[in-house]
Amino acid sequence: MVPTFEAVYCDGWDGGVVNPLTPSIAQARDAAGEPYTVVLLIDGRRHAVLDLSWVDGYCCVSRFDAAGRQVSRHVLRGAADGDLFLRQAAAWDGPPDVGEHEYPHVAARTSTTYRLSGERTDVIEPRGDLGRRHESRSVQPPPRLPLPGFGRWQDLLGLAGDGPAAIVDAIRHPLPVRTATRPPWRPPRPLQPDGIEVLFTPGAQVECSGRKLRLSVHAPGHLHLPSGRPVAADPSSLDLGAKPFSVTVPPGSYPVSVSLATFVDDPHHSRVTAARLDVCDRPAMRWELALRDGQEPLDLGHREFFGFGVDAGMACFVDADSIDRMKDVWRRLDGLVKPRYRTVGSGDMVAWSSGWGDGVYPTWIGYDATGAPTCFVADMLLFSTDEDEHEDEDQRADRG
């Protein structure tokens, strides 16, 4: 007999239904591609939670057993042709006497990650967090599904391990319900390069924590790129595996600009907002996050980014072929001098103080109308005010 699942619509699940939605409102969100959640019930209990955001090409299907323990999680992302493809799958299988909070840590865990290129990575952890981890790689195209119409989530459930089922709207349900000012989940929208151009507008005024700052732009000199492979890193840790960006430029010498923000009510207090490596004088028409080999934007969540780590309050641009030489030169220096930036080694490195200090910082690449790179901007996130900005940096950045 085919089971029937009852659908409850809401902003999300967090120990109960958060901000319930009527079926008509949920369907309107679905048509607009906006985020919403479907909780599927069987016999009055939660069986699956679907977090959907079609505008972001995102779907997460979480399934639960009769004891309320999560037994699987499947994340699907949008492909260029409009289909969904399986990005990540995880499953847990553990002892029946373990509670829902301990279960994902001690249950046997298997996970699979796919890339559209056909790379597949499998990880098996027979004892969860308590034992060894076995990893293998193979070549296999990811499973794909067409984008489902509203209410037609059977294929999503089938991919996650369910058999054929019918789905109807719930008339009433026994789940706890609460309201919240913010949904309990957010679609994976990585950090965006908002206002990059303003950072290099001399005389522009910005606000930070209620205080006004005035921007100025300075030219410490040119950076030599003998290999054309720029690196942004902490100069004191170049020997820890700093890697170049995957986008390269013709070998040569390129000008670097540093943007300083000076407090209007304290002219002696200034901070570096960003450093820009100009490849040409054409204007940037779009911006993208600078990536290193192996970094995949689909792995980024809400306001996450791949960036370079800073532990000594300093950042720099350097060529990949100059790293071995410059890591020794840097050790013989006393650090930065005022006004917070300097050229090192006759142009083999340009270094600056890193915004508010230690942390992880993104680099943006500007592209012209033809798609050619125009500049690299290391953003010190001086004016970032997002409420999530102080989350653990290892969850949103790659120090490589």
pLDDT at 372: 96
Q: Is the pLDDT of residue 377 over 90?
A: yes
Asked if the model's pLDDT at residue 399 lies above 80, the reply is no
Rounded mean pLDDT of the chain?
A: 91
pTM confidence score: 0.85
45: pLDDT strictly greater than 70? yes
Asked whether the CA dihedral 21, 23, 25, 30 is positive or negative, the reply is: positive
Average pLDDT over residues 144-154: 95
pLDDT tens-place string over residues 328-371: 777 666 555 556 898 988 899 999 998 888 999 999 999 999 99
Q: Which of 58-62, 138-142, 336-340 is the least confident region?
A: 336-340
**What length is written for the chain?**
400
- Which tens digit of pLDDT belongs to each residue from 153-180? 999 999 999 999 999 999 999 999 999 9
Residue 212 φ/ψ region, left for φ over 0, alpha for ψ in the -120 to 50 degree band, beta for the rest: beta
* pLDDT score at 336: 54
In this predicted structure, the answer to whether residue 241 has a pLDDT above a threshold of 90 is: no
Least confident range from 130-134, 178-182, 363-367, 385-389: namely: 385-389
pLDDT of residue 392: 36
Region 310-324: mean pLDDT is 92
| CA 8 to mean position of chain CA atoms | 29
Residue 195 to residues 11, 96, 134, 198, 357: CA-CA distances in angstroms? 30, 53, 44, 5, 21
Q: For residues 381 and 191, what is the distance between their CA atoms, to the nearest angstrom?
A: 11
SS3 297: helix
Per-residue pLDDT of 73-85, as tens digits, reads: 999 999 989 999 9
pLDDT of residue 335: 53
Helix (H) and strand (E) counts in the chain: 5, 26
Segment (H or E) for 264: none
- Choice among 213-222, 296-305, 331-340 with the minimum mean pLDDT: 331-340
Furthest-apart CA atoms within the chain: distance in Å: 77
Amino acid identity of residue 145, one-letter, is: L
- State the pLDDT at residue 69: 95
- Asked whether the predicted pLDDT for residue 400 surpasses 60, the reply is no
Mean pLDDT of 314-320: 94
Of the candidates 254, 253, 239, the one whose C-alpha atom is nearest the C-alpha of residue 327 is 239
Every domain of the chain and the residues it spans: 4-178, 196-395
